[in-house]
Structure 1
């Protein structure tokens, strides 16, 4: 047994006091802190928040040697029990880091729990010390002594811990117990007061996930939802028997905000099948120390992102118009990202997640595409292609679940190709081409199958191929589109826009009325404190968005196919 004790009794210090107790099996001991947490593919170097490391054996203090920035080596005088103490700064409020203050505590245990070499598959016992009036919400079996028991280190690290004076709400899905815990820093349970059917709606979405997977009950024996309702924010992280969500109150005030919350619930809940149990082979087992290439992330996240918009509709909580609107928003975002056309293929996006997706910069739209977004668009195409063969994407997902996921076997790319081509033989060639290529599938033709069409919406002003914003009172260039007029004229990020044809520019809205399409104009800028004038020629107004509409010329057969598609029913 490895005992992990976490002391949160001084939340105002934002420090978690950690104690690790165990009896060593060898006299040479190695310790490591994970570098990342599963589900979020970025090396986070959690060790940067660790301080005051102290190791004792009995009354003797032992001095470890650093083997690398996140690892230590220790030679022991005996095999007597060890105590390791250290503090971890908890000041980062995301679903994959730790945060502790006077209102609540959230712990991602990958950032807190040292891995003891040789003890990965040993049971780990978790104990907590909390401020008065707080309670803990932990998706692990609770023991009679008030501790929680993880079967091994992997289950421990897969355990998000929420603490605070919150209330817990219980409901069931197909007889499986579920818990809902919401931290609202301003008004506890205000979300339930504003949306009194929330728990019933969440349960309906969960049941829709089960139906999508062809299952009578969830994959997890019990489930915990933790929601951080913040002023602003959006995100989630899946676990085997739980998920952590962040959502913004400002978004909830919008007409589509509540639907977006249910879509986030659907996304993370569906992950208990697709990702957690139906897992890429590269993550079997997980290497907590370094990045691994996961070519199938487009399937893990893209398919889940595609279905998260359909699941509230399947649960009876959104309309056909809602789905078309939300899908149109994603299609518009996708079609306006130039990086899809040559910067990065979908396979490359999956393989380069560690160094690109979570490290966006000003030029990211020109050289990359999100495997979430393009994966969802490809999932739409695959679903509609499969329907031409009398099948659907849900059936492929169920096939993979029955053959691999149910037994915890990781999948490789050839498993995905076999599953798709078994339902639609033509995908044996098309799918690899879509994964490796930069040319879009014939989206208009596929959408026409279900009576939908895309309509471009052009900007009202000529196109300079740049974006600007006020930075410290200066009108600064924050994006230069690759190959656009601004780049051809020589503008770069950080340039301050002063004037166009001698007329002063003070805010972004000043630029559009002065632009003359296809005419050379003089733009005055300040670059690193020196004024200069460049010649720039604006292009025709660019497409600024796309609308997805029901095609008025579509016949009843297309309408029938659309209803089958939205109902996740094979054609």
Structure 2
């Protein structure tokens, strides 16, 4: 047993005091802090937030000899119990890092807990010290003494901890208990020392006041996930939703029996915002099957110290991203027209990303996730494509191809779940290809081609199968091949399109735009009327403190967006196929 104590009682310091207690089995013992958290494929070097490491054995201090930036070695005089103390700065508000202030605390335990050599598969007991009036929400079995018990280090690290003066709302999905906890960062702070509320008579929080059917809609989406998987119940024995409602933000991270979401209140003011929140819920909830239990073999077991190449991320995230738009409609909380609109938005974003053709194949996108997807730069659109986005588009194509053979993508997902996921057996690329080919033999050759190459599948033909068509929409102004934004220094170039007019003129990201044909530039809109002429014009810029003059010629208006439309000439057969497709019914 490893005892872990986390002290959050001084939230204004933004420091979490960590105490680990264990009995060593050897006199040379290594300690190590994870470098990343599962589900977010980026080396985060959590150790940069660790400070004041102190190791004691009885009354004596034991030197911690650093072996590398995130590892230490202890040379013990005996095998008496150890106490390890240190602080972690919790000042990064995301679903994969730690954040502590006077309003709440959120802990991603991969960034907090040292792994003790030889104790990975030992039970870990968690205790928390909280400010007065706070409550902890922890997706682990609660013990009679108020602590929580994880079966091993992996389960502990898979446990997000939310704490604060929040209330929990309870509902069931197929008899399985679920909790919904929302930290509203935009709400007035509850007075210090007041007790957290949560009884049936309490008034609803601001999100539920604005969307009184939210919990019913979330439950319906959860039930739709079960139907998609062909399961009578969720995969988890209980489930915790944690939502951070911010002014702006979007994201989620899946866990075995929980998820942490971030969403922006400003987005909820838009008509499509509530729908996007339900899609985020669907995405992370579906992950309890596809990713957490049906997972790539290279993630079993997790290596917390270094990046691992995961070619199957296109399936793990792309398939989930595809279904997250369909599931709210299957749950009856969004319409078919809204699904077509949202799918069209994704198709437009995909078709307007040049990196899909010249930067990365889908396999490369997954393999390079550690160094590209989570490290976006000004030139990222030219040299990469998201495996979330392209994976979702390929999933659409695969679903429609499978339907030509009388099957569907949902059936392939169920096949893999029954054969591998239910038993937590990891899959390899050949397992995926075999599963698709078993339902549609053509995919034995087509799928590897689509994964390894950059050429698009025949999207118009597949969409025509279900009575849909893509229509390009041109911009109203000539195309300069750049994007500019107002910065502290002035109007600054933030993107230069590869092979576009701005690059040909010699512009670089970071250039300050001063004037065009002698007319002062102060905001992006100032470029439009001047470039309308589509003839060579003199652009004055400032680069590294020096003024320069360049000549730029805008190109003809480019495609601004793609619209996905219902084909008015679609046959009755195509309309029936669309109905079955949107209802996730095999043809």
TM-score, scaled relative to structure 1: 0.99
d(CA) in 2 for partners of 1:519, 1:116: 67
One of 529, 543, 553 as aligned partner of 2:545: 529
Matched, 1:397 2:426: no
Aligned residues: 571
Return the offset for 1:516: 4.2
Q: Which consecutive unaligned segments of at least 5 residues does structure 1 have?
A: none
Return the offset for 1:505: 1.9
Return the offset for 1:519: 2.1
In structure 2, the residue matched to 1:46 is 46
Residues 553 and 44 (structure 1), Cα distance of their counterparts in 2 relative to 1, 3 Å cut: same
In structure 1, the residue matched to 2:181 is 181
d(CA) in 2 for partners of 1:536, 1:140: 61
Return the offset for 1:363: 0.3
In structure 2, the residue matched to 1:288 is 304
One of 239, 243, 248 as aligned partner of 2:264: 248
Matched, 1:209 2:241: no
Contact 2:489-2:512 at 8 Å conserved across structures = no
In structure 1, the residue matched to 2:98 is 98
In structure 2, the residue matched to 1:158 is 158
In structure 2, the residue matched to 1:471 is 487
In structure 1, the residue matched to 2:23 is 23
d(CA) in 2 for partners of 1:395, 1:363: 38
Matched, 1:449 2:465: yes
In structure 1, the residue matched to 2:200 is none
d(CA) in 2 for partners of 1:21, 1:570: 55
**Runs ≥4 residues deviating over 6 A:** none
Return the offset for 1:119: 0.5
- Can you list the C-alpha shifts for 1:312-349, whole angstroms capped at 9, x where unaligned? 00000000110001000001111111000111111000
In structure 1, the residue matched to 2:141 is 141
In structure 1, the residue matched to 2:78 is 78
Return the offset for 1:518: 4.6
Contact 1:525-1:531 at 8 Å conserved across structures = yes
d(CA) in 2 for partners of 1:129, 1:23: 23
Alignment of 1:324-403 (within 5 A): 324-403=340-419
d(CA) in 2 for partners of 1:504, 1:14: 46
- Secondary structure at the aligned position of 2:479 is classed as coil
The root-mean-square deviation of aligned C-alpha atoms, in Å, is: 0.9
d(CA) in 2 for partners of 1:502, 1:134: 61
TM-score, scaled relative to structure 2: 0.96
d(CA) in 1 for partners of 2:377, 2:228: 37
Contact 1:302-1:379 at 8 Å conserved across structures = yes
- Can you list the C-alpha shifts for 1:146-187, whole angstroms capped at 9, x where unaligned? 000000000000000000110011110000111110111315
Return the offset for 1:110: 0.4
d(CA) in 1 for partners of 2:579, 2:396: 15
d(CA) in 1 for partners of 2:130, 2:351: 49
d(CA) in 2 for partners of 1:451, 1:563: 10
Contact 1:303-1:376 at 8 Å conserved across structures = yes
In structure 1, the residue matched to 2:120 is 120
Return the offset for 1:526: 1.7
In structure 2, the residue matched to 1:69 is 69
In structure 1, the residue matched to 2:198 is none
One of 304, 311, 319 as aligned partner of 2:320: 304
d(CA) in 1 for partners of 2:134, 2:515: 58
One of 483, 492, 505 as aligned partner of 1:489: 505
In structure 2, the residue matched to 1:37 is 37
d(CA) in 2 for partners of 1:45, 1:36: 7
In structure 2, the residue matched to 1:193 is 209
One of 406, 419, 441 as aligned partner of 1:425: 441
- Secondary structure at the aligned position of 1:440 is classed as coil
Return the offset for 1:103: 0.6
Return the offset for 1:493: 1.1
Contact 1:517-1:539 at 8 Å conserved across structures = no
d(CA) in 1 for partners of 2:278, 2:534: 46
Contact 2:484-2:494 at 8 Å conserved across structures = yes
d(CA) in 2 for partners of 1:327, 1:401: 26
